[in-house]
Structures are given as structure tokens and as C-alpha cells.
């Protein structure tokens, strides 16, 4: 899945939003510019530029916005420039051009933009005069940035490190371009298919005041509407002390589309508002009456005298004047009804301004501590299939994230002192490389001589033994049609029946042994095989599986799983990670925040697995680590399964417009599962440290040797370490990046959760001395920042909310002493470090994120 779009419910032409016909033209008279300059005396920062509301009325905040996927059905370039294809939405370049002109034409108009991958591209194509005019719009708060990441990332299949990096990239661009005026106050995650708790925690640590969501499960939404709990405080960490990871969360009323029949984009079918009574197309009174009914109906589900209506959708505002002219008329006509006693006030607004009014209401809000997975938009429409769709691409994304964290050729030359023809070896783990070689006592695995299947795993160091059977199965994919039955597709997982079928009842096996490694090669069919591998000294079992091409000649799409069956008494519980960080407890056929009517016993129990899934009883824990994001579950006690590949024959009618039929490199997929068996009190040390080593594995580069010196007199090094001493095992150096000519961006994280490791005491706070930690530089000054490094922590402030649990005060930022940096469990601390010494001389840009 691509970082920002991954899988969208494309709605070409199917909008439900509002776009108005307004008073202004594209070439306004001079007095409008004078009004604009007068209005410009206010500033966007700290909500100062928000519009005036009516305290004794129902205030309807119209949020004009566009949602622009950074790649999905088409490429990024196609989305940016548009094209001739009838299915291709208007280009983002045209959207931004059109919105800019429309905002200039009428001073009351406001607009919200999100995806910096597109906006930064557009920005650098503008003249100086246009850039200055845009800066003024931002300063006035009329062009507001929400979220502000490079993309609007998916929340199920993304690793937290990649989320932090892409948010830092986008927010750094905004800070550099617009200063404090461009800093988003609100996270805007309207289109991800379910929402992770870790994402909310990261947003809170980035300094956001709140987040607005579009997609939540249909049962969850109905329950929240009945109880007026569409807005809440999300307590997004079980380890960080409240309110560090508390985030105000609002569920939008209509996904992120406009209300039905109130859409005036070129992609919509609604007629424009005609307010001339003598015109035979006159419909103003009808539209106003309808709008007032919609507003009153929506107000029943929210607690304040403020409601929000999203006026936009996917790639809307390609012809912004149509939208804004109709919105102008709607505002004028509805507010004119106040003379006749109406208590409804309509205004152009933004997510931040709406959030500010909710905060001023000074209410007590309910608290949510779980996440918003899985997501379903109907009884048989669980969007849990995309957790595993396109597994080859998901692995490529994970490997790419790893690769982006290491050094490239110039850095290697500088470190080694020698210019070499460096190369990597993607096939290193299977001995394809001439310049390398592969290099069996804590774990024992026993296989059945009769079936060839795994029977038992023993952790000999901890004296833990567990019968474990592992094999491959496949679900028949439902192949219904849109009218009669939901089919399985790229997003939706709907198996034809509950029980999967075995790929084979047995596996042909043979054994390979050496002094370094032992392998059991299993062949289940001509399209499914596996190598079970144990290296000498290794504390886990490695399962390297190969699946594909999946056969479909029998007329059935297939969704292939690897399943582990044990006698563990798990009482319906299992555990999955949240974006690779904290662990969430899952309970079969259960949701913590509402009474679930389970309509799909398989798909409705599938959850995203970014790095690990495990089951346990009071004594033993079986953990499986993944090398890519997958879907997983425990559908019966003692059982654990992960979906490894899918091939489907029907579209699921969620926007792709085609079946999930992988071609080319996606036909055959090879991956790894790492299996650990531990005593429960020692399990966290195993899976935490192993997951970090796997996600951010060292890259191996090969060179023939004998290269020229990197520079005159350069010493040849055969070893180099950037650290003078090893970090404690519970501490991870998450980020070390150049941040200017003599500064580094530094992130350190505690990678254990509160109380999860009683066997090794790795959940305790850790204090570090950073001053003399690095081998080539000395830190002279540290400034702590928020997580995305766009605000000093000492001056950062967030809106304060009152939860219906015990409220905790916001802790003040402590002075930073580089000799004593303390990390609490699950805490990430971000610093900009001024340094003396040798920074990488091969990089001469003052700003590493310069665009």
C-alpha cells in the first residue's frame, strides 16, 4: 500500500457534498482587496483568526476541503496534472490554482489543505507574487493546513518510524515556508480504514490539539450517535502518563463528504442554487429548508451548539468557483432566516476553528482506550482484507524503510576512507553472493515423520515446551455480486465459509544440516513450500514461506493463511502490535466500546499485524513476528493465524474497479515468520528486541577492495562505530539525521511498555549521558522539541480537555541537561543537538530536507 493512499473507496462522480455559488468573481473590485488587507491584521496562530460565532445559536461550520490521494489508482504525476481519461479526477495542480483564485475573490472564504507532497510541488511552481499572496492567506487563517504530513498515511499497515518520518518531512516544509502561521493545530485523518491507537499517541506527542476521523465501524458510529459520544478524549497509551498521549477525537458526521444533495463540484450532479424567484429553476427556498432540516438532524447527535459539515470530497474543487459561489449563497440565504426567528448560523470555518469552539464549551468528555479496528461499513463488509493485499509490495515498503535509514556510498567511502564499487546483496540470506557466507542450541523443533508438519517447540534455556502444529490453509473467497452478496476483494475480506481448507494434509520434507544452520524443507504443494531454519545460537525459529502462483482454475479465489495450533488456554484473547509499538489486547467477537453484533466470525476478528502477534496462557507465550504488515487473528483458543497471500476473482466495489489478480513479481511471494516460545514474564525481552533488529536490520554492503583513498591522506578503516558505547537494551536510537550545518536531529525511544518485562527489568526508566555518546561529534547544546521537531517543547502548548476519568495536569517541560536524559517506558524524546566535530562532509546542504 502506498504511504498516503494505499486503498481508497474511489467515488468518481459519487459525491455528497456542498459547493456554492458566491458573490465574488475571479477579478474582484479594488475595495475587496482593501477589505482583504484590513482583515489581514489578524493572524492564524493560536486560533486568533477564527471567524465570529453566535453563542446563542446553532453554529454550522462549513469546512471546504479536498482529499487528494498521493497515488492510488493512478500515479502521483497523473493525479497532480490530471489527464484525458474520463475516470481520472481533476489534477491537483488545477485544484490548487482554482482554490487560490477563489479565495482571492471573496475575503470570507476559507479552505483546508492536507497533503504536502502535492502542495510543496505546487508551491515551488508559483511566482514570487503568488507565493506572497498565499502566505498572506495562511497568515489570515483563510488557507489552513490540517495534518500537514507529506501524505495522509494509512494506519493499519504502517510502521511508527515511517509515520514519524513522513510527518516530520511535511511539517518541516510548512515551518520553513510559513513559520508559525502554517503549523497545523489539528490532525485530519478522514480516509484511513480504521484508526490505530499508536497513530493517536504520535499525533498527541507531535503537539496536535485534536484529530478528526471519517471512517469508523458502522455499529460503532450508530452506538455513538445514540449516546452522543461522537466526540471524545482518546487515551492513546497505556504507558505514557496522561495527558501526554491524550488526544481529543471527533468523528465526522458524513465520512468526509458533503451532506446528501448538497454537492456543487463538477464531479457532482446537484443543481446550483438559483435564488431569483422569477427564474423557472428557482430552488433557493427548497435548498434552505432542506439544509435547516439536515442541520437540526445532525445536531441531535452532538453535544454543543456547534456542528461541522465537510464540504468537499475526493479531488474536489477542480473548478472551485462553482463550489464557493454556491456556498456563498447558502450562507447568505440561511443566515437571512434569522430575521424571521431562525436560530441557525452558518459560517465558513476550518477544523481548527471548530475544535476551538468545542474546547470553549468546557465540557467533560468520555475516554476511549482501545482503537478503531476492524472497520466495517456494513454487516458483511469488513475492510480487513487489505491488511494482507499485495504482500510483495508490503514487503518492499518495509525493506525500503529499512534501507532509507542507512548510509549510502559516499558515507561508506568517508567512513572506510576508501572509494569502492559498493553493492548490496538482496539474496544474502540464501547464499547467492560470492563474497559472503551464512554464519543449533536454545530452541528445538520436532517434526512428525508421518505428516512432515511441525509438532513441538522447546525453549531449552527457559525449560518451556509447547506442542505446536503449523501448516497452510486457504479460505474460499466469496464471489457474490454487488446487488446480492458482498465479494472478497482488495479491501474487503469475506470468506465463503468459516472453516479454511488445508493446502495439503502433509508435507514432503528433507533435512539439511551443517555446523552453522539446520533446515527442514517442507513442500505442501506445487505452489506452497516452506523452509524451517535454526541458526546456531539463535533463540527463535525462522519460517521462510513461499506461496504462489495461487491456482484459481477451480473457480475460487483463495486467501492463504499460515496457522499455528497449540493447547494453550487463551480464553478468547490474543495480542497484536499497534504500528510496531504498543501491544493491544484483542478478544474474539468483542469490542470494548459497544455491544458487538458479530456478523462475520472470521473477517470480523481480523486485526492489522504490523510486526507481531501472540497468544499466551498464565505461563507460556507463543509469538510470531512478521517481515511485513499482514492481517491476523485467533479464531479459536490456542490458535493463531496470519494471512500471507490473496488471489481473488471479483471486485469488492470499493473503488479499485478490478479483482485482486497480482501479476509479475506479485504472483509468487516469499516471506518470513519468526517464532518465539517463552515464559510469559520473559517474552517481552525476546519479541521487543528481535522486532527492532528485524525492522531496522543492518544493511550489508560488499566491495572487492583495493579502492582509491577517499581523500588525500585518508586513513583506511576496517571498523567504525558512531557510538562510543553501547546503548542500554531498552533504548533505541530512532533518528540521527543532519539538521543544518552544525546540528543533528536526534530521537531516542524507550522500546518497552510499562510493566511488560518483569523478567529482565527492561521496563524501568533509563537515564543516559548524551554529551560523550558519539564518536565523531560532541553535543554542546540540546533543544528538546515535539515529536515532529517543528516546535520547541518548552514553548509548545495544547488545548486542555477534561476527561470523565481522573484529570491529570499537563507536566511542564523540564530543563534539558545532555548528561542526564531520562526515558520513561514507551517515551520518545526528540532533540535538535548543536555539535562540534566531524559531521558527514559529503553532505553540504544546510537543510537536509530542502525541497
CB atoms within 10 A of CB 185: 24
Indicate the burial class of 427 (C-beta count within 10 angstroms; 0-12, 13-18, 19 or more). Answer: exposed
SS (H, E, C) 4-32: CCCCCCCCCCCCCCCCECCCCCCCCCHHH
Is the link from the previous residue into 549 a cis peptide, with omega within 30 of 0? Answer: yes
Closest CA to 70 of 126, 14, 146, 153: 153
Closest CA to 179 of 39, 37, 45: 45
Tell me how far apart the alpha carbons of residues 108 and 161 are, in angstroms, rounded to a whole number: 40
Q: Nine-digit cell at 788?
A: 515532529
- Listed in order, strand segments (DSSP E) in 226-382 are 231-235, 246-251, 306-314, 344-349, 364-365, 367-368
Say what angle helices 92-105 and 128-140 make with each other, to 10 degrees.
70
What is the DSSP secondary-structure string of 181-217? GG---EEEE-SSSS--HHHHHHHHHTT-SEEEES---
Is the link from the previous residue into 784 a cis peptide, with omega within 30 of 0? Answer: no
Q: Nine-digit cell at 810?
A: 499537563
CB 45 within 8 A of CB 183: yes
Task: State residue 235 phi and psi, 5-degree precision.
Answer: -90, 100
Enumerate the active-site residues: 191
Q: Which residues, in sequence order, are CB contacts of 476 under 8 Å at separation 6+?
A: 495, 496, 497, 501, 556, 557, 558
Q: Nine-digit cell at 545?
A: 514461506
Cα angle vertex 697, ends 689, 529, to 5°? 95
Beta strands at 231-235 and 367-368: parallel, antiparallel or unpaired: parallel
80-87 long-range contacts, CB within 8 A, separation 24+: 80/118, 80/121, 82/318, 87/12
Q: Nine-digit cell at 596?
A: 458487538
SS3 state of residue 319: coil
SS3 state of residue 167: helix
CB atoms within 10 A of CB 34: 11
Query: What's the chain's Rg over C-alpha atoms?
Result: 28
- Listed in order, strand segments (DSSP E) in 52-162 are 58-67, 111-113, 143-145
Is the link from the previous residue into 374 a cis peptide, with omega within 30 of 0? Answer: yes
Tell me how far apart the alpha carbons of residues 154 and 192 are, in angstroms, rounded to a whole number: 5
Q: Which residues, in sequence order, are CB contacts of 712 under 8 Å at separation 6+?
A: none
Amino acid at each position: 500500500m502506498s504511504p498516503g493512499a494505499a486503498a481508497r473507496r474511489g467515488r468518481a462522480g459519487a459525491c455528497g457534498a456542498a459547493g456554492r455559488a458566491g458573490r465574488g468573481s475571479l477579478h474582484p473590485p479594488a475595495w475587496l482587496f482593501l477589505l482583504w488587507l484590513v482583515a489581514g491584521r489578524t493572524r492564524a496562530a493560536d486560533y486568533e483568526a477564527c471567524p465570529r460565532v453566535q453563542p446563542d445559536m446553532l453554529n454550522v461550520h462549513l469546512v471546504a476541503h479536498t482529499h487528494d490521494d498521493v497515488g492510488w489508482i493512478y500515479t502521483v504525476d497523473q493525479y497532480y496534472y490530471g489527464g484525458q481519461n474520463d475516470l481520472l479526477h481533476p489534477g491537483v495542480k488545477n485544484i490548487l490554482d482554482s482554490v487560490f483564485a477563489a479565495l482571492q475573490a471573496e475575503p470570507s472564504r476559507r479552505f483546508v489543505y492536507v497533503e504536502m507532497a502535492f502542495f510543496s510541488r505546487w508551491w515551488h511552481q508559483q511566482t514570487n507574487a503568488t507565493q506572497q499572496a498565499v502566505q498572506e492567506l495562511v497568515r489570515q487563517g483563510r488557507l489552513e493546513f490540517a495534518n500537514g504530513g507529506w501524505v495522509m498515511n494509512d494506519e493499519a499497515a504502517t510502521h511508527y518510524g515511517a509515520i514519524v518520518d513522513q510527518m516530520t518531512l511535511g511539517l518541516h516544509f510548512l515551518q520553513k515556508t510559513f513559520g508559525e502561521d502554517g503549523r497545523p493545530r489539528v490532525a485530519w485523518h478522514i480516509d484511513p480504514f480504521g484508526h490505530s491507537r499508536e497513530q493517536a499517541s504520535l499525533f498527541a506527542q507531535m503537539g496536535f490539539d485534536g484529530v478528526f476521523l471519517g471512517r469508523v465501524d458502522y455499529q460503532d458510529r450508530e452506538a455513538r450517535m445514540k449516546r452522543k459520544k461522537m466526540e471524545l478524549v482518546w487515551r492513546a497509551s497505556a504507558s505514557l502518563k496522561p495527558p501526554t498521549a491524550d488526544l481529543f477525537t471527533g468523528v465526522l458526521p458524513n465520512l468526509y463528504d458533503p451532506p446528501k444533495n448538497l454537492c456543487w463540484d463538477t464531479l457532482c450532479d446537484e443543481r446550483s442554487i438559483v435564488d431569483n424567484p422569477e427564474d423557472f429553476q428557482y430552488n433557493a427556498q427548497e435548498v434552505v429548508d432542506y439544509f435547516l432540516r439536515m442541520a437540526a438532524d445532525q445536531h441531535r447527535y452532538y453535544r454543543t451548539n456547534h456542528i461541522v459539515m465537510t464540504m468537499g470530497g475526493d479531488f474536489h474543487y477542480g473548478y472551485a468557483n462553482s463550489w464557493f459561489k454556491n456556498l456563498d449563497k447558502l450562507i447568505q440565504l440561511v443566515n437571512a432566516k434569522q430575521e424571521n426567528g431562525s436560530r441557525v448560523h452558518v459560517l465558513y470555518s476550518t477544523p481548527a476553528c471548530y475544535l476551538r469552539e468545542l474546547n470553549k464549551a468546557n465540557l467533560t468528555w468520555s475516554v476511549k482506550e482501545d482503537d478503531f479496528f476492524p472497520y466495517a461499513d456494513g454487516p458483511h463488509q469488513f475492510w480487513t482484507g487489505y491488511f494482507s493485499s499485495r504482500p510483495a509490495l508490503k514487503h518492499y515498503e518495509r525493506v525500503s524503510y529499512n534501507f532509507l535509514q542507512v548510509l549510502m556510498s559516499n558515507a561508506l567511502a568517508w567512513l572506510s576512507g576508501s572509494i569502492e564499487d559498493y553493492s548490496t546483496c538482496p539474496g544474502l540470506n540464501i547464499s547467492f553472493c560470492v563474497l559472503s557466507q551464512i554464519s543449533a542450541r536454545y530452541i528445538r523443533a520436532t517434526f512428525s515423520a508421518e505428516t512432515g508438519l511441525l509438532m513441538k517447540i522447546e525453549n531449552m534455556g527457559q525449560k518451556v515446551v509447547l506442542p505446536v502444529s503449523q501448516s497452510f490453509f486457504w479460505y474460499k473467497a466469496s464471489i457474490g455480486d454487488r446487488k446480492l452478496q458482498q465479494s472478497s476483494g482488495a479491501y474487503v475480506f469475506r470468506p465463503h465459509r468459516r472453516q479454511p481448507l488445508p493446502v495439503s494434509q502433509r508435507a514432503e520434507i528433507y533435512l539439511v544440516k551443517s555446523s552453522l544452520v539446520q533446515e527442514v524443507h517442507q513442500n505442501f504443494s506445487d505452489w506452497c513450500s516452506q523452509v524451517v531454519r535454526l541458526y546456531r545460537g539463535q533463540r527463535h525459529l525462522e519460517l521462510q514461506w513461499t506461496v504462489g502462483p495461487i491456482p484459481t482454475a477451480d473457480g475460487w479465489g483463495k486467501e492463504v493463511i499460515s496457522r499455528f495450533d497449540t493447547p494453550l488456554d487463551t480464553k478468547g484473547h490474543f495480542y497484536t502490535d499497534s504500528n510496531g509499538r504498543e501491544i493491544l489486547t484483542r478478544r474474539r467477537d468483542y469490542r470494548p466500546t459497544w455491544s458487538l453484533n458479530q456478523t462475520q466470525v472470521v473477517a470480523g476478528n481480523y486485526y492489522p499485524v504490523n510486526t507481531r502477534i501472540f497468544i499466551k496462557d498464565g505461563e507460556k507465550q507463543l509469538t510470531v513476528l512478521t517481515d511485513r504488515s499482514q492481517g491476523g487473528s485467533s479464531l479459536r483458543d490456542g490458535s493463531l493465524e496470519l494471512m500471507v497471500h490473496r488471489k481473488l476473482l471479483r471486485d469488492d466495489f470499493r473503488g479499485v474497479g478490478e479483482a485482486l489478480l497480482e501479476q509479475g513479481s506479485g504472483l509468487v511471494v516469499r516471506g518470513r515468520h519468526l517464532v518465539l516460545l517463552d515464559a510469559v514474564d520473559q517474552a517481552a525481552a525476546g519479541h521487543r528486541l528481535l522486532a527492532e533488529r528485524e525492522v531496522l536490520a543492518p544493511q550489508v554492503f560488499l566491495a572487492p577492495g583495493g579502492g582509491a583513498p577517499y581523500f588525500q591522506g585518508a586513513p583506511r578503516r576496517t571498523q567504525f562505530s558512531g557510538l562510543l558505547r553501547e546503548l542500554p537494551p531498552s533504548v533505541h536510537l530512532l533518528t540521527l539525521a543532519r539538521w543544518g550545518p552544525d546540528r543533528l536531529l536526534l530521537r531516542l525511544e524507550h522500546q518497552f511498555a510499562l510493566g511488560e518485562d518483569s523478567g529482565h527489568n527492561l521496563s524501568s526508566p533509563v537515564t543516559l549521558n548524551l554529551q560523550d555518546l558519539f564518536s565523531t561529534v560532541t553535543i554542546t547544546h540540546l533543544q528538546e522539541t515535539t515529536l515532529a521537531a517543528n516546535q520547541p517543547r518548552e514553548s509548545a502548548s495544547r488545548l486542555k480537555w477534561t476527561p470523565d476519568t481522573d484529570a491529570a495536569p499537563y507536566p511542564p517541560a523540564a530543563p534539558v541537561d545532555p548528561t542526564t536524559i531520562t526515558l520513561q517506558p514507551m517515551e520518545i524524546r526528540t532533540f535538535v543537538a548543536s555539535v562540534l566535530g566531524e559531521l558527514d562532509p559529503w553532505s553540504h546542504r544546510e537543510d537536509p530536507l530542502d525541497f
